[in-house]
Every structure is written in C-alpha cells, then in structure tokens.
Amino acid sequence: MSEKIKAVIFDVDGVLLDSMGPLSEMPADFLRTKGIEPKPDLGEQLFHRTNLMGATYIVEDYKLKLDPETLAQEMIDYQAKNYIENMMPKPGVEETLEFLQKNNIPMLIATSNERIMVEGALERLGLLTYFEGVLTSPEVGSSKENPEIFYEAIKILDVPKENALLFEDGIHAIKTANEMELAVVGVYDETSKNKQTEVKKLADQYVTDLAEWLQSDNAKNLTIPRR
C-alpha cells in the first residue's frame, strides 16, 4: 500500500519559477561588468552551488584577487532586482499549490538561492503565502549535495520522512534525496535537458512540469511515488 503525502518540499528555480535560464546567464554577465570574460561552462559550474560557494569557485578558478564574500554579495545585488521583478512561474504551479492547500498538505521551500530573491519573487506573484516557511542553502550552510536542508525541512513540517515528497529539478539534489530515501518528483527544466536521462532514472516520478503531476494518479490519490 502506498504511503500518503502528508507534506511537500519544493525547490524554487526550475520547479516553481522559470528562472534557471536567466540565473545561469547572470554570473557571466556580472563578470563582464568587471572586465572578466567568463568561461563557457560557468553556468554549469555554478548550477548546484550557493552564491558564496560560486563566488569562491570564481575567485579560485579565475585567479582573482577578490574576497569571495564581497564578490558573492556583489553578485546577489546584481541579480536580485532582475530576479524579483521578472521571474515567472512554470506551468501548473498555482493550481498545484491551491490543490495541496485545499487538501491540508503543508508545504515548505528548500532552495539553493538567496532568501531575499526567492521571497521577493514569490511575494510579487502571490505565491509566498502557500508555504510554511523558506529554507535556503546559504543559511543552512551547505549545498543540496548535503542532506541537511532536507532533514531540516522534514523536521519543520513535522512528518515522517516516508510521508514527505520533494519536487526537484537539480540532479545533485535528486541524488541526495535518493541517498536519504526521500521520495522525489523530478521536474524537467530546459537548462538541464542534457541531464534528463539521469533525472528520469533517479526520480521516483518524472514530470515535465507541475501541471503534469497534478493530472497523475499520485496527485489525485495524494500518494507517495516509489520507483
């Protein structure tokens, strides 16, 4: 018998918001403002890193005489206004959040992004009120390659791990969910299209967007998918 969904954890970028494309381009644009020509793989290198981790990588890889913390804050300041004002939801997001709320399923955000950006964009879109809270990798102190952020989310939601469901697009986070036996719905995002074979293999359920999940039997029956 399938376990029932009692709480849901959402990633933001690539799952709730169609923001991965702009986010992957912003660091390169930022470096150009400093007269630094970015390498072609910069966006991919920063994909799973927090801003501080990304800034540290840039300082080391580009051999810059800059303080990573200062660089990270400059990157956040550069990205924040555009992100907060322009990011839009992916298909089926509001309908999915309404559905879960009507079924009394508590929801929490676990993101690698900065709180100011995520909360600003979701508040503008009228989506922030659906969530019990927001957890960020920068505040937790580790990327999603470490399960700490997900364990903290489960603790806040106060449900057994077996009844919690994660929606994620990042392959590193999906691998982490697998290792801790947290059920995960893998969500397609264009920026990681070359990773989709692996996402499909590792996710307990795979969807192109939340609208597709909402039409699935797992959604209709509020059951945890299992591979």
**Span 41-60, pLDDT tens digits:** 887 788 778 888 889 999 99
Judged against a pLDDT cut of 60, whether residue 1 lies above it is answered with: no
pLDDT at 219 over 60: yes
Rg over CA atoms, the chain: 17
Question: Which residue's structure tokens are 């989506």?
Answer: 127
3-state helix, strand and coil shares in percent for the chain, rounded to the nearest 5: 55, 15, 35
**144 backbone φψ class: left, alpha, beta (φ>0; ψ -120 to 50):** alpha
High-pLDDT (> 90) share of the chain, %: 78
Long-range contacts of 80-83 (CB under 8 A, 24+ apart): 80/114, 80/116, 80/117, 80/120, 82/22, 82/26, 83/19, 83/22, 83/23, 83/117, 83/120, 83/121
Tokens of 93: 């997001």
pLDDT at 16 over 90: yes
Half-sphere exposure of 209 (CA within 13 A, CB side): 12
The answer to which of 23-32, 149-158, 168-177 has the lowest mean pLDDT is 23-32
Which pLDDT value is given to residue 25? 87
**Average pLDDT of span 174-194:** 96
pLDDT at 24: 82
